Amino acid sequence: MTMAKAQNLEMLFHETLKDILYAEKQILKALPKMARSASSNELKQAFFAHRDETETHVERLQQIFEMIDKPARGKTCDAILGIVEEGKEVMEEFAASPALDAGLTASAQAVEHYEIARYGTLKTWAGQLGLKDAAKLLDQTLQEEIKTDKLLTQLAEQSVNAKAA
């Protein structure tokens, strides 16, 4: 691998880290609102639990920024802003309807799928850049995002979607 390629992947890794840090902070703001809107207690609990987990994700990202000797600053992530905006629309358009929890669950899964894609990529890049400790931290977060996605699927299939029908 030439130096230019390593430099480019390193820069891409850093830019994507800034993107996911911004995204995680937006998610921290959105989760309590989603929890308050949900009528299902299980869904409320899932949102609050994931909020706590997301705080840990932010802390891990801050550790990774330290590892690469860069300031832990996010940059605007249009993708997460769009996904969060869609969630707000669901909360407004389906407020007090039986379909609200199904819509919230779908919105939360859109967030999870975005995060799973980002963390998977970052983990791979960290490995390629020789950042073993960063790759481990990214994998921890990736596994937690996958677990949350599975929990949301379970809630949707076992109760939330049936109540919406």
* pLDDT tens digits, 56-77: 999 999 999 999 999 999 999 9
Number of Cβ within a 10 Å radius of residue 8: 11
Q: Is it the case that residue 162 has pLDDT exceeding 70? A: yes
Structure tokens at 97: 């309807």
Q: Is it the case that residue 165 has pLDDT exceeding 90? A: no
Q: Is it the case that residue 28 has pLDDT exceeding 50? A: yes
pLDDT at 96: 86
Instruction: Work out the average pLDDT over 1-7.
Output: 54
Q: Which class would CATH give 3-164?
A: mainly alpha
Q: Is it the case that residue 2 has pLDDT exceeding 70? A: no
pLDDT at 144: 97
pLDDT digits (tens, 9 = 90+) for 86-97: 999 999 999 989
CA angle 136, 138, 139 (to 5 degrees): 65
Q: Is it the case that residue 39 has pLDDT exceeding 60? A: yes
**Residue 35 pLDDT level (bands cut at 50, 70, 90):** very high
Q: Is it the case that residue 52 has pLDDT exceeding 90? A: yes
Instruction: Give the residue extent of every domain in the chain.
Output: 3-164
Q: Is it the case that residue 1 has pLDDT exceeding 50? A: no
Question: Three-class SS string for the chain?
Answer: CCHHHHHHHHHHHHHHHHHHHHHHHHHHHHHHHHHHHCCCHHHHHHHHHHHHHHHHHHHHHHHHHHHCCCCCCCCCCHHHHHHHHHHHHHHHHCCCCCCHHHHHHHHHHHHHHHHHHHHHHHHHHHHHCCCHHHHHHHHHHHHHHHHHHHHHHHHHHHHHHHHHC
